[in-house]
Amino acid sequence: MQGITLALIGGGRWARVHATVLCSLAPPIARLLWVSRHNREAIERALIAREHPQITLLDSIDEVLDQQLDAAIVCTATANHGSDALAVLESGTSVLVEKPIALD
């Protein structure tokens, strides 16, 4: 088995927690595509991104969804959970959403 490819959407504290845990799994994930709409600098500063070669930083959700994904984790700002999760689902990819799933 080659491992799975996950997308991590979001750049805040919880996204960094998810990245740390995902990179510590055994067997490791094959690729982690990490995108943040507003906090790319925070992601780039995060030591986790420099310590783990399986992390690829991307610039947009569309760029992530163009990839061959096994699943995505949405941990953006609460106001964006619904639209980001729907975008992932519409691409045919399974999604895990941080709570709450949506405000409306």
In this predicted model, what pLDDT tens digit does every residue of 69-104 receive, in sequence order? 999 999 888 888 999 999 999 999 999 998 887 776
Region of 92 on the Ramachandran plot (φ > 0 left; ψ -120 to 50 alpha; else beta): left
My answer on whether omega of the bond before 28 falls inside 30° of 0, hence cis, is no
Architecture of domain 5-97: 3-Layer(aba) Sandwich (3.40)
* Prediction pTM value: 0.83
Confidence of residue 45 (pLDDT cuts 50, 70, 90): low
